[in-house]
Amino acid sequence: MARLSKVKVLEQCQVSPPPNSCSPDISQTSLPLTFLDIPWLFFSPSLPLFFYEFPFPTCHFTSTVLPNLKHSLSLTLQHFYPFAGTLVALPEPGIPELVYTQGDSVSVTVVESDGDFVYLSSNFPREVEEFYTLVPELASSSSFAPISNATTQAAKLPLSSVQITVFPNCGICIGLAYHHVVADGRTFNNFIKAWASFSRLGDSSKVDVRSKPSYDRTTIVDPYGLEAIFLKEWWKRISSQGLVLLGPSYNNGHSTNVVRATFLVDLAQMEGIKNWIIALCNKGNEPHPVHLSPYVLTCAFLWVCLVKIQENDLNHNIWCGEDPNYFGFIAGGLTRMGHPVPPTYVGNCVGFGRSMAVRKDLLGENGIVIAARAIGNTIKKLDKEILGGAEKWISEWEVMFGSELHVMVFGSPKVDLYETDFGWGRPKKIEDIGIDGAKAISLTESRDILGGIEVGLVLPKPQMEAFKTFLIEGLDAFS
């Protein structure tokens, strides 16, 4: 086990958009949540970490780099002002809102760490606890009495925060925490790329903020009255619990026996998985799965590996082979909503996909085919009707978050996060700390191999070793 690192706080500050510059083309600073935002009120914030090599002493960072980082963040917030705002919960039947008021800000904490930068930014299994000092704090609840009348005072929660960690003469880690109600992965990518561009280019006049952000809520159409269904669930929660957004999901009693690791699946290995699936289908005179994209191939393979790990775990020997297993993922909505949604839309435009297969089938000889067919069929349904069954999104995903039986995937290899250059080059490593407590796996594009996918997951050490064995043996068999 690595020695847990210690951090020293160098600075704590608040960064706001430049005075009187916030969203000059937008007449209001209050954005009601759409029906696509509301389900995210029930889940933990996103916690990405960006590691950059930076072989300079701390004094160089604080005197030259830090002022530019804060200034560029300020410039970015004038375009992406909800990140500096708050979530305002209104009494029933009010719709929760994202509100920015002049002077609102993002909390920025700067610390120096004596941790091992090379260790933290590697792929091999590393102690999960070592990463928690790199994650910014973000309020998750507010005093809010049960709603009983229209005079109940609205409650507010900040939506994002930043921590910048300096590893002297080694590197920098930029950690963010943001509640998903303010942004999906596409919006966050636009935000972080804008910040990096302002930082790298300096003069704001030279920066193209990936076209002007769109705040037009009318582009999100609710044809099935899902807003009312989701709000009913939300009011039910805050009437009994008060305003509570789940906090960072990693701090939930992890033992020191739990590790984080990253694995790479490259295009040649994906092609091997695809050929193996086709061969099995041909052997059994079965039709090929409808989708055999790199995403489906990788997810199907991971699903089978993780089910095998569960089966080998003696603590899970009470599970029945006839039990349904679910594989959950996030599906982009820009091209699936049936009407135009600008790619620069700020907010959530994603749906939930949930594939099902019987446990014994996933463990059988054709398990990889079963998994690929289930995921592919779900994607086909989402392509046809992304909102089909959406009234059950909240209840279905709460079950998945509370179970070790099912598998969830966060992130997307289509989001080019490794192109986020603040002026020191591309990130050496990106980690998603939000997967820890959610028992999920993360997917992102490979940093160095074109078309490859990085797979991040958190498991107890014995399970991680078993996963590594299944993964290597499986990929070798498919090659």
Residues annotated as catalytic are 180, 421
Determine phi and psi for 422, rounding to 5 degrees.
Answer: -85, 0
Q: How far apart are CA 464 and CA 455, in angstroms?
A: 13
201 Cβ contact list (under 8 Å, min separation 6) = 207
Relative orientation angle of helices 226-241 and 393-401, to the nearest 10 degrees: 50
Task: Give the chain's end-to-end CA distance (angstroms, integer).
Answer: 34
Q: Which amino acid is at 277?
A: I
The 3-class SS string of 119-180 reads HHCCCCCEEHHHHHHHCCCCCCEECCCCCCCCCCCCEEEECEEEEEEEECCCEEEEEEEECH
Q: How many CB atoms neighbour CB 252 within 10 A? A: 11
Q: Are 227 and 453 in contact (CB under 8 A)?
A: no
- Residue 331 bridge partners (DSSP): 351
Q: Are 473 and 276 in contact (CB under 8 A)?
A: no
For residue 93, cis peptide bond before it (omega within 30 degrees of 0): yes
Of 451, 397, 416, nearest to 40 (Cα)?
397
Q: How far apart are CA 416 and CA 88, in angstroms?
A: 32
Integer-rounded Cα Rg, in Å, for the chain is 22
Residue 344 has which token pair? 């620069």
Of 199, 156, 166, 161, nearest to 177 (Cα)?
161
142 Cβ contact list (under 8 Å, min separation 6) = 89, 155, 156, 157, 242, 243
Residue 60 has which token pair? 């160089």
